[in-house]
Structure 1
Amino acid sequence: MMDQESEKHLEPDSHMTDDEAPKHRRKAIYLLPNLFTTGALFAGFFAILRAIQGDFEQAAMAVFVAMILDGLDGRVARLTNTQSDFGVQYDSLSDVISFGLAPAVIIFQWSLNGIDDRWGMLGAFVFVAAAAVRLARFNVQVETVDKKYFVGLASPAAAAVLMGMVWFFEEHGIPFQENIGWVWIITVVTGLLMVSSMPYYSFKSVSPQIRVSFLSVPLLILVFVLALKDFPLTLWLIASAYALSAPLWFIARRVQKLRRKSS
């Protein structure tokens, strides 16, 4: 039988005014977005465990699950009007684990541990440190930068590049992990893109009313067909194209400036 003290916590406070009651209920809703953040954190933790056990395909898939949950927590917080400073900091700490540490451990266990003289460990650490620095910088600049663009490659997108690669080659049984040099370069370059100052489109301004060209329709159909045929390859190609978009745009701008000067 429930004691009297427990019953008091379940009963509505008779001294609570009508104005205080909604505030009390709103505090209780704050658990909802943090549950999604906790789910993303657990997915990252699970990915590390699966990598240690040698199941790299499931480890990569778990990181993508973390990305989905990470995308939902902010939207849920805005829909329920439960944004908080605690939620922002908790989300950043979760991102460091799920999109920094977890991909680095997976890529190290998958390939980079085969490099002598600890170069593999250094490459994986560069990715972890870059993710931590990128998230810290994002929290500091969140109120001052243009919402349409990220400064540097977002950590979930960087993780998608590495995990899409692992998932694709593991599913098809292609021993790409033996090409340790290429894996090391991809890991380090992706990490450096996170701490770069190059702008990446954030897609936060995309709406159902946005106008697109007719060329985008067959492209979307092509992506859809490719996803049905080879989903891991599609994710890897999309993530890689997004990661390369800012450097290619930067190079194109430089080439245009050189042409103008020469002319």
Structure 2
Amino acid sequence: MKQHIPNFITLLNIFFGSIAAVFAVLNQLELAALLFSFGVLCDFFDGLAARALNARSELGLQLDSLADMITSGLVPGIVMFQLLNMSIDGGWNYMGIDRAVNWMGIEVTPLAFFGFLITMASGYRLAKFNIDENQASSFIGLPTPANALLIISLPLILLYHNNDYLNNIILNPWFLIGLTLLSCYLLNSKIKLFALKFKNWSFKDNSLRYVFIIISIVLLGTMKFLAIPIIIAFYIVSSLITSIGED
């Protein structure tokens, strides 16, 4: 019985991710972010449960990636689609691809579909992860939950910070296109990133993880949702510095 507990938690990840996708399609991005966060928590706890119960399995590995494809692959793609749709109010024009067209009775902007490159890149990364035996204690490329968190933080920054300068940056289509391309690159890059997996609770063995968690908590407490992109950047930079030190 206990071997099914981690898989059930993973199925909850699929459940919350699916609902998040529905809210994202409806452009209810705050609710989508909330359900996404529930899914990510399930993604974290299924691994903890598997290790605690010694219930790791090949089925669990495959199921985990399928869940991530929905929660951390599809949902951020839809969110970027909505953000690109929102950004086409500034008069930006290139070959007419910023103009809304009527497609089967629905007004859509062709440029917005560019956001689904994130979903495609996430799927490619997850497929590689499943056949890569070198990512047990660290990651190669940005994990899909971290990348999704970066994308999903943008509408929360718009909503809760309400800063004209930040709004103009986030709703600039060039910024969103650049971020989409950067996201796709980071997902499938060769950058080695540390994993938040504790084999023991020793500070000496996990000093980087503890420092990262403490700094992240401080940033979240002082900067709220604006802290999320900074935390992701700090995660990448600190991993790069650590990798250079090891070499």
- Relative distance call for 1:152 and 1:225 in structure 2 (3 A) is closer
CA shift at 1:224, angstroms? 3.8
Q: Deviations over 1:23-64 (max 9, x none)?
A: xxxxx2233112211221122112212122222122123222
2:179 matches 1:186: yes
Within the candidate set 22, 28, 38, 1:49 is matched to 22
- Relative distance call for 1:58 and 1:243 in structure 2 (3 A) is farther
Which residue does 2:129 correspond to in 1?
Answer: 138
CA shift at 1:149, angstroms? 2.2
Separation in 2 of the partners of 1:225 and 1:197? 29
2:116 matches 1:129: no
Separation in 2 of the partners of 1:91 and 1:138? 11
CA shift at 1:95, angstroms? 0.4
Unaligned runs of 5+ in 1: 1-27, 254-263
- Relative distance call for 1:62 and 1:146 in structure 2 (3 A) is closer
Which residue does 1:86 correspond to in 2?
Answer: 59
8 Å CA contact 1:29, 1:82 repeated in 2: yes
Q: CA RMSD in A?
A: 3.1
CA shift at 1:239, angstroms? 1.9
- Relative distance call for 1:109 and 1:90 in structure 2 (3 A) is same
8 Å CA contact 1:161, 1:240 repeated in 2: no
8 Å CA contact 2:117, 2:184 repeated in 1: yes
Q: Deviations over 1:184-232 (max 9, x none)?
A: 21122112111111211123356421239x9x99997665444234432
CA shift at 1:79, angstroms? 1.2
State the TM-score, normalized to the length of structure 1: 0.72
- Relative distance call for 1:146 and 1:229 in structure 2 (3 A) is closer
2:79 matches 1:106: yes
State the TM-score, normalized to the length of structure 2: 0.76
Within the candidate set 69, 74, 77, 2:50 is matched to 77
Separation in 2 of the partners of 1:88 and 1:219? 26
Within a 5 Å distance, the mapping from 1:1-263 to structure 2 comes to 28-112=1-85, 114=87, 117=97, 118-122=110-114, 124-141=115-132, 144-145=133-134, 147-174=136-163, 175-176=167-168, 177-204=170-197, 207-211=200-204, 223-245=216-238, 249=241
Q: Which amino acid in 2 is paired with 1:136?
A: A
Unaligned runs of 5+ in 2: 89-95, 98-109
Separation in 2 of the partners of 1:231 and 1:161? 13
Q: Which amino acid in 2 is paired with 1:153?
A: L
8 Å CA contact 1:40, 1:67 repeated in 2: yes
Partner secondary structure for residue 81 of structure 1: coil
- Aligned identity (percent) is 26
Aligned residues: 221
